Amino acid sequence: MKHGLAFFLFLVSASLCSSEETKSFRDLQWKFPRVRTASAEKDALLRERFQAKGLPYPPHSILLRAFKREAVLELWATTAADQPYVLVRDYRICTSSGVLGPKRRFGDEQVPEGFYELDWFNPQSNFFLSMHINYPNTSDRIFGYKPNLGGDIFLHGNCASIGCIPITDDGIKEVYWLAVLVHSAGQQHLPIEIFPARLTDDGLRSLAATHRNQSDLIVFWSNLKEGFDFFENGHRAPRVTTRRDGSYAFSQNER
């Protein structure tokens, strides 16, 4: 009889595990009250915004670009892998820590600069909702302070930051729910590009003028400008790799 009960419990457990495995990422996120709140408040609004831009909802892919000096996070989206991105909306970065320049060590309070991905979702964040930025990336590991580069960098709600990117609870509800939908639909990589400023020619000259004695920093920003220019010329996301010296290389994305 004990074996029969054990076998029954095994079947129930296996059935539950199988059911859990077949659930979509959206289904798994839907369990959390804040995600349901974000959907209830923002889904219809997002749908209207995408319709106004002539984009499907949810779109094929999204891309985020953050500009520290301008305190702006841009949300871009595209209809297909071979189509250009369209700017959907700007979000205000409501506060920041540190100064212009990349994050290189634990405790420097810097917001990273470079080419990253949002690699996991936190529906129970201390800052309402949050998405983890995969700092340190390969470039950071080459350039950074090896004993401890720091970490725990997020795009999140609220309006407080030590190295993170806060866009208020209202902003994160939109971005988080949209990211859930596109990730559930198949976008495995959610890129976020973080720049010190808009790296136009004038923008880089302005940075160079205010950081005259920091040649290494200007070289780093010049490298980021290559990726900035790649996207600006046609609004297509580059394939980003890292050279042995830690600099980024940009090429056409494979379809």
Question: Measured in whole angstroms, how far is the alpha carbon of residue 59 from the centre of its chain?
Answer: 16
Q: CA-to-CA distance for 168 and 248, rounded, in angstroms?
A: 31
Residue 14 has pLDDT above 80, yes or no: no
Peptide bond into 136 cis (omega under 30): yes
Per-residue pLDDT of 161-180, as tens digits, reads 999 999 999 999 999 999 99
Domains belonging to the chain, first-starting first, are: 23-198 (2.40.440.10)
Query: In this predicted structure, what is the pLDDT of residue 8?
Result: 35
Which residues, other chains included, contact 230 with Cβ-Cβ below 8 Å and sequence gap of 6+?
A: 236, 238, 250
Query: In this predicted structure, what is the pLDDT of residue 253?
Result: 80
> Is 45 within 8 Å of 178 (Cβ atoms)?
no
How far, in Å, are 71, 101, 153 from residue 111 at the CA level? 12, 8, 8
Residue 16 has pLDDT above 90, yes or no: no
Q: What is the CA radius of gyration of the chain?
A: 21
Report percent pLDDT > 70 for the chain: 91
Query: In this predicted structure, what is the pLDDT of residue 18?
Result: 41
Report percent pLDDT > 90 for the chain: 87
Confidence of residue 146 (pLDDT cuts 50, 70, 90): confident
> Is 231 within 8 Å of 237 (Cβ atoms)?
yes
Count of H-run helices and E-run strands, the chain: 7, 10
Q: CA-to-CA distance for 200 and 204, rounded, in angstroms?
A: 6
Residue 2 has pLDDT above 80, yes or no: no
> What integer is the mean pLDDT of 27-49?
98
Residue 12 has pLDDT above 60, yes or no: no
Which of 18-27, 159-168, 172-181, 215-224 shows the lowest mean pLDDT across its residues? 18-27
Query: In this predicted structure, what is the pLDDT of residue 145?
Result: 85
Residue 15 has pLDDT above 60, yes or no: no
C-alpha closest to that of 160 among 128, 137, 124, 193:
128
Per-residue pLDDT of 105-120, as tens digits, reads 999 999 999 999 999 9
Query: In this predicted structure, what is the pLDDT of residue 153?
Result: 97
Assigned token pair, 155: 């795009």
> What integer is the mean pLDDT of 25-54?
97
Give the DSSP H or E segment for 119: strand 114-125
Q: How many residues appear in the chain?
A: 255
The average confidence (pLDDT) of the chain is 91
> What integer is the mean pLDDT of 47-66?
97
